[in-house]
Structure 1
Amino acid sequence: MAVSETPWPTLPVLPDPATDAVLASGLVEELSYAFGGPFHFLLPDAFDANLAALRTVMAEADVDGFVYFAKKANKAAVWIERCAASGAGVDVASVGELREALGHGVRGEHLVVTGPAKSGELLRLAVRHGALIAVDALDELDTLITTALTGAVRPARLLLRCLPPAQPHSRFGMNDAELSTAMDRCARAGEAVRMEGFSFHLSGYAVQPRADLAADLVALCLKARAVGLEAGRISIGGGLAVSYTDADSWHTFLSEQRSGHYHAGKSFGADDFYPYHSPAAGAEALRALLGTRPEGHSRSLAELLREAGVTLLMEPGRMLLDRAGASVFRVQGVKERDGYQLLTVDGTSLSLSEQWFNSEYLPDPQLLPRHADAPAGTWPAAIGAATCLESDMLTWRKIPFQRQPRPGDLLVYPNTAGYQMDSNESPFHDLALPPKVVIDRTERPRPRWRLDRHFS
């Protein structure tokens, strides 16, 4: 029976005509039938548009910059193919990711290798292919210098990663004393290394702390040049927020949600969620960053970069994947509970990875009824996985669907390309990993698709 008395919180996503066109075409039903299970579809045109928007902001600010896609955000090969075609870079942190990027056409000098305590094999490959290496510790620097001095055909290109003063317990980066020692070792290594600048890993999405730390790195570049190092680039990492919904919907959701709105009385605090709305999101977050005056400075970050002749590097992941794909599951079973339904779908929460953070992926999934006669009303339902684990829930929240969910219906989770699709995927219960389908741009009446070409 439909339930209408309770005000069930919702979180509608921002308009996305490209995704709507795919859903309207009927293609997702055919693909679900063909694959016999859940799948993800990818929209590479959105990736291209997001990359172009970042480049436009830098050009308008007259800032020299370069964008690396953070590959960890999504394993699909199509994003690497787009980087290769557009001359963008890729941020990798393993031998496998480096090989994948090279294999799909990205030039070695357009790779940046991040991550802590890199293996010797990864360092050797990075030096051999001319990749930029973000050095996280003094022992890693020593290993890199030794690698460069023993048979390398080119100098090792590197950035020194700084420990953020505001996050002193971060496990990434070097403190001031270590940075001073590192610069001295780079200077003494001579032509074996090219110390190109500095980087940082900063948690969170606040603009001012990122601008402050970026200004500190500009000053470090000037200090490093005084001892003969190249030091002409800084990397600010990622941290460009994505807005999935509008401000009113987000604040209303946070004010209304409570444990009774979740299966099994699950409860979340506002700080447990990703900020699904941000006043400055995407390329506008970069615009805000460049226009911010770092603490202790009278000029904007963009002005400081221009005056010092420093190139701005960034490694966005989620931001480049905004509206670049969705995940599709089929309802296998419907169980009645006290005032709501419990749906079971043909996949697992391992393919919707927000649960990895003990959180909830909040954007409302869209129900595509299998039959047009599905009863209308308000049908709250939580969504569980086809596994034997109580905690394996795709959505703890009771979503107020406007049609009665029934077996055979499809559920489409919107805007999942950034970190949701495959960060946590596993063939648990010997279930196949959901395939990724690339929707290619076409002028035909219906979308064209192909399977992604990820090597593994």
Structure 2
Amino acid sequence: MTAPDGLPRHAEAQQFPTLDDVLQIGGILLTRLAERVGRTPFYAYERRHIASRVGLLRQVLPRGVQLHYAVKANPMPALVQLMAGLVDGFDVASGGELKVALDAGMAAERISFAGPGKRDAELRCAVAAGALLHLESESEMERLARIGSELGMTPRVAVRVNPDFELKLAGMKMGGGARPFGVDAARVPAMLRRLAQLELDFHGFHLFCGAQNLSAAALCEAQRLSVELALRLADQARVPMRMLNIGGGFGVPYFPGERALALDAVADGLAQSLDLLRRGSPDTELILELGRYLVAEGGIYVCRVLERKRSHGQTFLITDGGLHHHLAASGNFGQVIRKNYPVAIGNRMQGAALETVSVVGPLCTPLDLLADRMELPRAEVGDLVVVFQSGAYGLTASPTAFLSHPLPLEVLV
């Protein structure tokens, strides 16, 4: 894919400095990075940080837990290819993500496909490839059985369960109560009986309760409850449960006052859940599916100051980036109480006088806000604004077509 000016939208750039280097040298290398990228805005993701995060999880988590990457968090092809060599599998949520995952070299049998509203064409591609389909409804199960028959193949399936509990303190709840995701736990036994009558290869269950959680206690409770529920449901299946995907939900701190997740405590709780699973179903593979936690802190978004503007005593820095590229940092169209992401003037990291400013983008809406009355080094036209914690749910989670501005570039450094 190319950007409107002919530049490649995705670039792999090993010659670029690391993000740690950028911070240590006070922005000099960030300027060089911007020069090499060729224009702003852009996203930069650091392979060393991402690999270190995966390595840390490998050290801390109990042995026997499989680690999957949720491609939705950041589907940049070069980054997904990097992940293919680091994790045990991928989880995708569309035919497009399935293609990215397969192109990255991940074995099809290590790819699972979840999400409501899968189209027949997507189901056909997934079955033909040999991916594991996570069934979101009884009707999807029937459609998939028909498609498998037409292809002369037996689809590999798991049942996504909407649990009868919630992940407490989750930034986004994905289970418990009325949800479009998965099959209500009370309906699963009947679904399993019907599944056993169809030409489908049952592997196990997928439970995903919520996302962006910084509470180790809440995560551990949800993991335990997920294992307990899966074991009860497995008693209703005609074949043993071979896999259990308990989702992830590991959060990262974005805002002042938030503390990093206590990973050791999560690992201790997960070890207890794994032991519970081993006692009830010794041969079941336990899968942890993470996206944000693996990549969010390994990415930055960089845009350039186009103009300084004063209005009623307030200073605005108007940039060439904004909510159309980084919706989450702007507050998701006002859907949440907006707080400032970590933001810096990247080429003025040291020794500059401070001022209180708001950083805004070029869109015709007051919601196009990257920093609201933050104390930052005084910036001039041409300076670089950096938004940290930008490696997950950035570009592809944003309304890039809004007002038809050029797409930003993405680089893996």
Fold agreement, TM-score > 0.5: yes
Distance 1:314 1:429 in 2: 39
Question: How many residue pairs align between the two structures?
Answer: 373
Query: What displacement does 1:375 show?
Result: 5.9
Q: Distance in 2 between matches of 1:430 and 1:228?
A: 53
Does structure 2 retain, via aligned residues, the 8 Å contact 1:331–1:346? yes
| Partner Cα distance (1:79, 1:284) in 2 | 27
Q: Residue 211 in 1 paired to residue 223 in 2?
A: yes
- What is residue 308 of structure 2 aligned with on the other side? 334
- Residue 338 of structure 1 deviates from its aligned partner by 4.4
Q: Is the 8 A contact 1:221 1:231 kept in 2?
A: no
User: Which residue matches 1:47?
Assistant: 50
One-letter identity of the residue aligned with 1:148: G
Does structure 1 conserve the Cα–Cα contact (< 8 Å) formed by 2:75 and 2:100?
A: no
Residue in 1 aligned with 2:14? none
In the alignment, the residues of structure 1 paired with residue 145 and residue 293 of structure 2 have an alpha-carbon distance, to the nearest angstrom, of: 34
Offset at residue 278 of structure 1 (A) = 4.2
AA aligned to 1:277 is R
Cα distance in 1, alignment partners of residues 359 and 241 from structure 2: 51
Structure 1 365/87 Cα, relative in aligned 2: closer, same or farther at 3 Å? closer
Aligned to 1:123: 123
Aligned-pair CA distance for 1:288:
4.3
> Deviation at 1:229?
1.4
In structure 1, C-alpha distance between the alignment counterparts of 2:285 and 2:349, rounded to whole Å: 56
CA 1:77 to 1:201, structure 2 compared with 1: closer, same or farther past 3 Å? same
Aligned partner of 1:197 in structure 2 is: 204
Alignment match, 1:19: 19
| 1:299-314 → structure 2 map (5 Å cutoff) | 300-307=272-279, 308-309=281-282, 310-314=284-288
Alignment of 1:405 onto 2:379: yes
Alpha-carbon shift at residue 332 of structure 1 (Å): 0.8
> Could you tell me how far apart the structure 1 residues matched to 2:352 and 2:247 are?
48
Larger Rg: 1
After the TM superposition, which residues 37-436 of structure 1 pair with which residues of structure 2 at under 5 Å, given as runs? 37-58=40-61, 61-62=62-63, 64-86=64-86, 88-153=88-153, 155-166=154-165, 167-189=176-198, 192-204=199-211, 205=213, 206-220=218-232, 222-224=234-236, 227-244=237-254, 249-250=256-257, 276-280=258-262, 283-284=263-264, 286-291=266-271, 300-307=272-279, 308-309=281-282, 310-354=284-328, 355-356=331-332, 357-360=335-338, 362-369=340-347, 376=353, 378-395=354-371, 397-401=372-376, 403-436=377-410
User: How far is 1:305 from its partner?
Assistant: 1.9
How far did residue 121 of structure 1 move?
A: 1.2
Per-residue CA deviation, residues 185-209 of structure 1 (Å, 9 max, x unaligned), is 22222xx322111112212523144
- Measured against aligned partners, the alpha-carbon deviations of 1:348-399 in whole angstroms (never above 9, x if no partner) come to 2122221224343533311135799x962x301111111222221122x211
Deviations 1:2-33 (A, max 9, x none): xxxxxxxxxxxxxxx95230353734324434
Offset of 1:315 from its aligned partner? 1.8
Contact in 1 for aligned 2:315/2:357 (Cα 8 Å): yes
Offset, 1:108: 0.8
| CA–CA separation in structure 2 for the residues paired with 1:360 and 1:30 | 32
Give, in whole Å, the separation in 2 of the partners of 1:303 and 1:370. Answer: 51
Structure 1 distance, partners of 2:401, 2:321, is 10
- Structure 2 unaligned segments of length 5 or more: list them: 1-16, 166-175
Amino acid at match of 1:79: L
* Cα distance in 1 for residues equivalent to 2:209 and 2:186: 19
The question of whether the paired residues in 2 share the 8 Å contact of 1:117 and 1:137 is answered with no
CA RMSD after TM alignment = 2.5
Question: 1 CA distance for matches of 2:392 and 2:38?
Answer: 23
Q: Tell me how far 1:162 sits from its aligned partner.
A: 1.2
Structure 1 contact 84–107 (Cα < 8 Å) conserved: no
Partners of 2:273 and 2:65 in 1: how far apart? Answer: 13
What displacement does 1:117 show?
A: 2.3
Determine the C-alpha separation between the residues in 1 that align with 2:92 and 2:126. 10
Q: 1:79 to 1:359 in 2, by over 3 A?
A: farther
2:251–2:293 Cα contact (<8 Å) kept: yes
User: Which amino acid letter does the alignment assign opposite residue 139 of structure 2?
Assistant: D
In structure 2, how many angstroms separate the alpha carbons of the residues matched to 1:420 and 1:334? 25
TM-score normalized by the length of structure 2 = 0.83
